[in-house]
Structure 1
Amino acid sequence: MNAPEIALFGEWNTANLGDRMIHRRAAEFFRSCGWRVSSYALSSLVPVAEPGSAREPPPPRGRAAARLPPGLRRALRGVRQEMRMLRLLPALARAQAIAVGGGALLSDVNLHFPQSLAVLTRAARAQGKPMLCLGCSAEGAWSPAGVGIVRRFLGACALIAARDAATARRVAELLGRSVPVFGDFCLRESDFADAGGQRALRPALAVNVSCPPAVAARVQHEYEDALVEMVRFSRAGPAAMHAITVFTTGTAEDAGPARRVAARLASGGADLFLPQSVGELEALLRSATVVVAGRLHAFVLALATRTPAVGFSPAPKLRNFLGSLGLERYGFGPDGGAELARLIGADRSALWNEQRDAIRRAPLWAVRSRIHGLLRSAASAPAAQRGLLLAEAHRALA
């Protein structure tokens, strides 16, 4: 029997290395459930090359529409998304299900994602396709228009499991029923199965600098100041770091702050690294003994390479996610620089062991296992029963 096809939507064709890694891991997950995967970019509603292909997806180019007033831009984009979906309908007709995930795809951001979710919801209903929403989060407030679109999209989904507990609570308020936490696709239980400790390395600190949206300039300035002071502190004492690398995870908005922080630390020999591929980022993380992460995927990918990490960000997104893993004590804001520095100076093997053990105990693995079983059963079922199995998936998961 041929494997059924699932249309997988996410932010795959950007320069963000975390999103590229989500694409790779999400495709692996659905394939392991017995599905063939066709990938599409949620923002542009176009097919995207399979993860691991020789050609990395280029970042989207800026357009003149970005200079238009926000209201006019939203209106034009709504029309454009309708036209794009019309072109995509024949490809969607070949799929037996539609999945959205993961990343911050339930966020509003001036209706950027909701407009795509709206046309996707209508297309799925018109074609009778079951929809899934796995590993997604919502960052920031929803506008009145955005909250209605997100509610309709989630209400049409057969199966929902959020990326973090904070998003799960927001979704539960919208739908009037609880939803489980799936975690981030980049996390795999197999990455933490080994009981061994962290490998011994020459002390090296990798510092990920971020500039989250909607963070006030004053808060960003305080964050960068605290980051510089923390790094300077880490160079002192018996556990001093011998190498410092300031880096980003490919997000364009982070490059300027990273350059500023690296320049302030240059006199102490700090290097600046702006990786262009997931492979380059993973190589850096493996070379570090500790990672200070401003972005969620700097933290997640550090752990996946068996490198302990601590979160330090001016926005709550990373700290919300860490709470879902039982790692909330490793997440800090701009006022936590002193405590963060002390944690970095602690025994690094013990730090890794604590984090690995906490992640292994996280409830999300049981949730993910049940979802895997549901999707695998649906994939192996006769075509006439597959849609019914997926349509009832949320009841089976509950």
Structure 2
Amino acid sequence: MKLVLAAVMHSPNLGDGVIAACLDKAAQEYDQNLTLDWLDLAGRSSPVPSPTQQSRRTAVLNVLDAMPTVAQQMLAQPLVSAQVRKQLVPLLPAKFDRAQGVIIGGGQLLSDVHLNFPIKIARIVAEAEARQLPIALHGVGVAQEWTAKGARLFGRLLQSPMLRFISVRDDASRAHLSAHLTRLNSPQVPDIRVFPDPGMLASDLYNGDVAARPSPRQRIGVGITHPVAIRAHSSSATDVPHQAWVKWYRTLAAELAKNHQVILFTNGSPEDEAMLAEVTGLPLSANIERLARLSGPTALIDFIGGLDGLAAHRLHALIVAYSLDVSSVGLRWDAKVDAFFDLTERSKYLVDAPALPPSKVSDLIIKAGQTSEAQTRRTDLQSAAHDGVRAAISALIP
């Protein structure tokens, strides 16, 4: 029994691979005879970019970031369409052969930044419709704003007669998707269900021993994110200069290093790695180290599982930390992070950076350990994440 899992599991941002790995693990637990055949929407087979790809991606993002939205789309659309034609389409015959359905799932897929996901998802829908395969949209995040062109492309999915199941990862995404469907004049059929992000199940893939963490807390991870990503995906514009971010990260690391071993890391995105190189380009104070780029999603899970605390922008660094009961502070930048902290009832640990002094962030990390009530909430959310995977599969294979 085979289903196609269409997502961005081989994105250089390893958080996307965490989602796919967790979804795959949960699917196997549901039915050992079920195979999820991974299909990366960009046609990738590995999350490790070449140095050339790294520098090209950061340069392109910087150029697009400086343009108005209409100009961004005019430049990006032929680039994305060419990627689909050259890298994704050749994979489709083998991936869809003998498949019984398609899951489009995980991550902020219903976002039309640069028209990247709308174009790619529309091609997957066309393939599924041509083969009369049912489609489940599962556990996705939904951006509040879509352009007219992005909405038309997403309409290929949302108005498809093969769409059997819709779930999103938080209440905010459900509200956003409901509003988009109204604007598209589409009925909400099937109903929009809410299940936690599959990344909540990261603890099922952890290879270490949570109980073996040293006490008192010693190892603190600081996730580094490039400002170009923050500007591209932020729900509110930010005018913080690039060098101000470099200085803030360095100051935060120095503040934490007074009492802890500090590890500066990224989720793997090329632009974040470039930012990490800037932050660590000058000598750092003692007790601060730079982590080499992690090799894959499980390596990210294992690294975070070995920490005692974490501060980061990237959503799946925070989700993995939550799943593994690692104290974490979120750095606000995107509504999806706000939604996650609302869902986990930890909004007091989501802060505005770089406006908040690093000393305040340091204090919060130490206080962010989970109470018994929070542990119960975490268990409930993980159970619901399992339920979501089962519901999506059941909609395709009754």
Tell me the TM-score range normalised by the shorter chain: 0.7 to 0.9
2:308 aligns with: 289
2:330 aligns with: 311
Alignment of 1:158-177 (within 5 A): 158-176=164-182, 177=188
Q: Taking structure 1 as reference, are residues 189 and 181 closer, same or farther at Cα in structure 2, changes over 3 Å only?
A: farther
Q: Which amino acid aligns with 2:167?
A: A
2:123 aligns with: 119
Q: Distance in 2 between matches of 1:263 and 1:86?
A: 41
Q: Taking structure 1 as reference, are residues 367 and 23 closer, same or farther at Cα in structure 2, changes over 3 Å only?
A: closer
2:222 aligns with: 207
Q: Is the 8 A contact 1:247 1:272 kept in 2?
A: yes
Q: Is the 8 A contact 2:195 2:388 kept in 1?
A: no
Q: Which amino acid aligns with 1:10?
A: A
1:134 aligns with: 138
Q: Which amino acid aligns with 1:75?
A: P
Alignment of 1:1-150 (within 5 A): 4-34=1-31, 35-44=34-43, 48=45, 57-59=47-49, 62=53, 71=74, 74-75=77-78, 77-78=80-81, 81=84, 84-85=88-89, 88-89=92-93, 91-139=95-143, 141-150=145-154
Q: Is the 8 A contact 2:12 2:269 kept in 1?
A: yes
Q: Which amino acid aligns with 2:179?
A: E
Q: Is the 8 A contact 2:210 2:306 kept in 1?
A: no
Q: Which amino acid aligns with 2:164?
A: A
Output the aligned Cα RMSD: 3.6
Alignment of 1:333-344 (within 5 A): 333-334=352-353, 335-337=355-357, 339-344=360-365
Q: Distance in 1 between matches of 2:144 and 2:105?
A: 18
1:272 aligns with: 290
Q: CA shift at 1:106, angstroms? A: 1.5
Q: Taking structure 1 as reference, are residues 220 and 162 closer, same or farther at Cα in structure 2, changes over 3 Å only?
A: farther
1:383 aligns with: none
Q: Which amino acid aligns with 1:149?
A: L
Q: Is the 8 A contact 1:25 1:185 kept in 2?
A: yes
Alignment of 1:177-256 (within 5 A): 177=188, 179-188=192-201, 200-201=215-216, 203-211=218-226, 212-214=229-231, 216=238, 218=240, 221-235=243-257, 241-256=259-274
Q: Distance in 2 between matches of 1:39 and 1:133?
A: 15
Q: Distance in 2 between matches of 1:182 and 1:155?
A: 22
Structure 1 stretches lacking a partner, 5+ long:
49-55, 380-385, 390-398
Q: Taking structure 1 as reference, are residues 353 and 249 closer, same or farther at Cα in structure 2, changes over 3 Å only?
A: farther
Q: Deviations over 1:271-312 (max 9, x none)?
A: 111332245434432332111122112112223333211112
Q: Distance in 2 between matches of 1:196 and 1:358?
A: 20
Q: Taking structure 1 as reference, are residues 301 and 80 closer, same or farther at Cα in structure 2, changes over 3 Å only?
A: closer
Q: Distance in 1 between matches of 2:384 and 2:118?
A: 30
Pair member with larger Rg: 1
Alignment of 1:326-365 (within 5 A): 326-334=345-353, 335-337=355-357, 339-346=360-367, 350-351=369-370, 353=372, 355-362=374-381, 365=383
Q: 2:37 aligns to what SS in structure 1?
A: strand
Q: 1:7 aligns to what SS in structure 2?
A: strand
Q: Is the 8 A contact 2:252 2:362 kept in 1?
A: yes
Structure 2 stretches lacking a partner, 5+ long:
65-70, 183-187, 233-237
Q: CA shift at 1:201, angstroms? A: 5.0
Number of equivalences: 360
Query: Normalising by the residue count of structure 2, what TM-score does the alignment of the two structures yield?
Result: 0.76
Q: Which amino acid aligns with 1:119?
A: R
Q: CA shift at 1:40, angstroms? A: 0.7
Q: Is the 8 A contact 2:223 2:265 kept in 1?
A: yes
Q: Deviations over 1:190-211 (max 9, x none)?
A: 769x998976255222111112
Q: Taking structure 1 as reference, are residues 182 and 220 closer, same or farther at Cα in structure 2, changes over 3 Å only?
A: farther
Q: Distance in 2 between matches of 1:354 and 1:340?
A: 23
Query: Normalising by the residue count of structure 1, what TM-score does the alignment of the two structures yield?
Result: 0.76
Q: Is the 8 A contact 2:4 2:96 kept in 1?
A: yes
How many percent of aligned residue pairs carry the same amino acid?
Answer: 21
Q: Distance in 2 between matches of 1:317 and 1:373?
A: 23
Q: Which amino acid aligns with 1:200?
A: S
Q: Deviations over 1:328-363 (max 9, x none)?
A: 2221121344543322243x6x4465643332344x
Q: 1:326 aligns to what SS in structure 2?
A: coil
Q: Which amino acid aligns with 1:171?
A: L
Q: Deviations over 1:41-91 (max 9, x none)?
A: 1123x7x4xxxxxxx554376489x69996365236436635753762464
Q: Taking structure 1 as reference, are residues 352 and 258 closer, same or farther at Cα in structure 2, changes over 3 Å only?
A: farther
Q: 2:290 aligns to what SS in structure 1?
A: strand
Q: Distance in 2 between matches of 1:252 and 1:195?
A: 30
Larger mean CA deviation between 136-145 and 78-87 belongs to 78-87
Q: CA shift at 1:326, angstroms? A: 2.1
Q: Taking structure 1 as reference, are residues 37 and 361 closer, same or farther at Cα in structure 2, changes over 3 Å only?
A: closer
2:185 aligns with: none
Q: Is the 8 A contact 2:267 2:314 kept in 1?
A: yes
